[in-house]
Amino acid sequence: MNNQSLGNFGEEQACRYLQAKGYKILDKNFRNKIGEIDLIAKDGINICFIEVKTRKSFRYGAPFESVGATKQHKMVQMALSYLKYKFHTINVLSRFDVVSICQNKEGQPIIEHIVNAFDLTYLSH
């Protein structure tokens, strides 16, 4: 499985997982000049900006560990852009989640969902 198909597999797994938890998927692969947000979903009254990280194994650590400060900062900028575009305001309850997916030895996905993985206010300065 190449990186793109692994990423697509992970995003599909994340969608199913989130929908089973009651999330409503609003957008997939939202792009603009800054970058891309994998999934945007609604959880109750919160708009969730979700980064999906998928790996074939835990050999190099858990997938979520690769969501560093640079990616977080980009996600904040993308989220602000999305909120302005879709809601015409940034005053919308929102948060940043990470869905980490890794395959076990049997090829089954192990999904870890980190709710509110990082904070908008801390990173938007």
Tokens of 33: 């000049």
CATH code for 3-123? 3.40.1350.10
**Strand 36-43 to strand 24-31: parallel, antiparallel, or no bridges (unpaired)?**
antiparallel
Tokens of 115: 């709710």
- Reduced to 3 states, what is the DSSP secondary structure of residue 18? helix
Write the CB contacts of 76 (distance below 8 Å, at least 6 apart in sequence). 96, 120, 123, 124
pLDDT of residue 64: 64
Strand order through the sheet with 94-103: 24-31, 36-43, 46-55, 94-103, 109-118
Domain ranges of the chain: 3-123
- pLDDT tens digits, the chain, 125 residues: what are they? 666 777 788 899 999 999 999 999 999 999 989 899 999 999 999 999 999 988 765 566 665 666 778 888 888 999 999 999 999 999 999 999 999 988 777 878 889 999 998 876 544 44
Three-state secondary structure readout of 87-121: HCCCCCCEEEEEEEEEECCCCCEEEEEEEEEECHH
Q: What is the pTM of this model?
A: 0.86
Cα distance between residue 33 and residue 68, in whole Å: 20
